[in-house]
Amino acid sequence: MDYLIYGLIAYLLGSIPFGVIVGKLGYKMDIREHGSGNLGATNTFRVLGFKAGTIVIISDILKGTVAALIPLFMEADVNRLIVGIFAVLGHTYPIFARFRGGKAVATSGGIILGVSPTLFIIMVLAFLITLYISKYVSLSSMITGIVAIIASCFLHNTGLLIVTAVLTIFVFYRHKDNIKRIKNKTEPKIKWM
């Protein structure tokens, strides 16, 4: 029963479409009608700029972090990583945005932040280094997942390793179109780094 309750809370939290909210309130624009059509942070950066993108990425990360921390504060006997997965499902298939959401990257990172800040820092560094080298946000996201799996092996936490692997596989699945574009050399590159 606890998993049902906290899973539902996490899913609803994950379903909050911050990209849509920031776009409509701050810019009178539906982010889903521009750029890639995605409501995540990457498209927000691309369409609305640095300030809006920063607000959205922080908000999307915190959805995962809060979902992972609520059971801790409530002293609930549940695995916080599993609860966090429901926030990722909410972010990617949000009930508040017709089940068309983001790519799962920021919210997945937020779960890790709530459970293992050390691993989160490693992931951020891996993302930034890969982004600096490749200029591809999508590729950087996927490589970060692989680095997270490898790093998890050294943290002696089997649950963290399993969930990190599951999230990474899901991130790869959500980026299947990006992978095709990278192969075809049609994937957009960032220009600010």
In the chain, where are the structural domains located? 2-184
What is the spatial distance between Cα 81 and Cα 65, in angstroms, rounded to a whole number?
A: 10
User: Which pTM was predicted?
Assistant: 0.94
Helix (H, G, I), strand (E, B) or coil at 140: helix
Reported as a single tens digit per residue, the pLDDT across 69-86 is 999 999 999 999 999 999
Reported as a single tens digit per residue, the pLDDT across 89-129 is 999 999 999 999 999 999 999 999 999 999 999 999 999 99
138-175 as b/e, with b when 16 or more CB fall inside 10 Å? bbbbbbbbbbbbebbeeeebeebbebbebbbebbbebb
- Phi and psi of 106, rounded to 5°? -65, -45
- Region 53-59 average pLDDT: 96
- Per-residue pLDDT at 35: 87
In this structure, what token pair is assigned to residue 35?
Answer: 């750029």
- Counting residues of the chain whose pLDDT is more than 90, the rounded percentage is 94
Q: Which residue type is seen at 58?
A: I
Give the pLDDT band of residue 13 (cuts 50, 70, 90). Answer: very high
- Region 61-65 average pLDDT: 98
Q: Quick one: how far is CA 35 from the chain centroid? A: 18
pLDDT at 192 > cutoff 80: no
Instruction: Share the mean pLDDT of the chain.
Output: 95
Q: Is 136 left (phi over 0), alpha (psi -120 to 50) or beta?
A: beta
pLDDT at 193 > cutoff 80: no
pLDDT at 181 > cutoff 90: yes
